[in-house]
Structure 1
């Protein structure tokens, strides 16, 4: 029996027509004005003939609107109808399915943190795998915003001067203090790759991987992290989780804080 939660199958393949349609819709959504077939094909990476046929189908279904005079396309009314179901939905509810997917795929505890105005983060949701042995953190747990893997990513997003970063670092408590020079280099690395790790520093025996969900101005609003017991994962697995976590954070940021079109 097919199980949609099973993301470990190596034989799974994207359905080409569906993938192309999604790419086309994403290209139209990213454009500030209606686009012709050739422009849509270039932006989406779909061949012109395939793009034309998919656009015609989407137009008949009202997911795309066709402008007869200019012979151009834009998103249609049916897209708004779909989006209407998300209006008023909390960020937690929107992100949770992706958290659950990551937890099952990687076997980690996945956490969503809200960044507060007083330089702290509060755990607002979590998703875990069915592993018999796992880390447990209660919703409502609060910690300094610059601590741990999420903290390094917050620091990277804020891009503070070295003196200010040092001042904030001195207020943090670690079970194994990494030292400011190491911490700062890890913040720089997080800025480059988009996610950070904490290896036995905040809590001994615990590895965390973290990133941030930023708004349209690049201000971090939420933190996303994965937590596991040290020694359970090889470096390659940590790298893979970090990239997947970053992808979810970027998608969430675009969905929650879309850039206004000029």
Structure 2
């Protein structure tokens, strides 16, 4: 008797609302198809009463979740769904979280600032912010580069569990403009491990200063915020650059 009572009590607490379930079924149905759907298509596929489906679709259209083409009499999903999901997307997407902070830092530092993600033996550019300077370093979103490249590479090497042979191969795979001395580079990796800062003075691109900081404080290094600027240009002191990049990294990491 007591077990039946407990089961009934739980059912009352989670009793679904029919109209909500039907609305979700309609949205999922439309989302499964590349082409726009007629009311009759939705009714047939979901076995829903036509008048109920029509009323729900009109409500979803009013709320901006569904778009209705009055010429073809067909329904598609609308941008209101994107707006509805935006807070969740921003929580999970470091690029979206950091976009405004990156734009502000790029202007302040007269630099190009990128948010990079490690993907296997490479780093991939997720987002970039440019300054308004006439001459500036250009990055392309989606570009992939060797993981040990430049300022970022020193951080990757510092935070990775690599043996010496792997580091040597990775170092040799980097398309250096001016190849650094390997012993000096290893000392710079040790400094990056100690200070959580990666620096590159013109070895990737002559005359370009690269500064990088990690997004994750500890554990595996998945994301890096890096700035690139003309080494002889009107940029702030390195300490100022690092502090600004760390502030961006904190936003990207939601810390």
- Normalised-by-shorter TM-score class: 0.5 to 0.7
Partner of 2:209: 207
Q: CA–CA distance in 2 between the matches of 1:194 and 1:247? A: 14
Q: Does 1:154 align with 2:153?
A: no
Partner of 1:188: 190
The alpha-carbon distance between structure 1 residues 138 and 251, as it changes in their structure 2 partners (threshold 3 A), is closer
Partner of 1:220: 221
Aligned-residue Cα RMSD (Å) equals 2.1
Q: Does 1:115 align with 2:115?
A: no
The alpha-carbon distance between structure 1 residues 156 and 250, as it changes in their structure 2 partners (threshold 3 A), is farther
Partner of 1:238: 238
Superposed structure 1 runs of 4+ greater than 6 Å apart: none
Instruction: Give the deviation of 1:97 after TM superposition.
Output: 1.4
Structure 1 residue matching 2:199: 3-state secondary structure: strand
For these two proteins, the number of residue pairs brought into alignment is: 169
Counterparts of 1:3-22 in structure 2 under 5 Å? none
Instruction: Give the deviation of 1:247 after TM superposition.
Output: 3.5
Where structure 2 has 5 or more consecutive residues not aligned to the other structure, the ranges are 1-84
Q: CA–CA distance in 2 between the matches of 1:110 and 1:204? A: 18
More helix, by proportion: 2
Partner of 2:130: 128
User: Larger Rg: 1 or 2?
Assistant: 2
Instruction: Give the deviation of 1:85 after TM superposition.
Output: 6.7
Q: Does 1:170 align with 2:172?
A: yes
Counterparts of 1:67-78 in structure 2 under 5 Å? none
| TM-score of the aligned structures, taking structure 1 as reference length | 0.59
Whether contact under 8 Å (1:207, 1:229) holds in the other structure is yes
Partner of 1:105: 108
Q: CA–CA distance in 1 between the matches of 2:247 and 2:155? A: 14
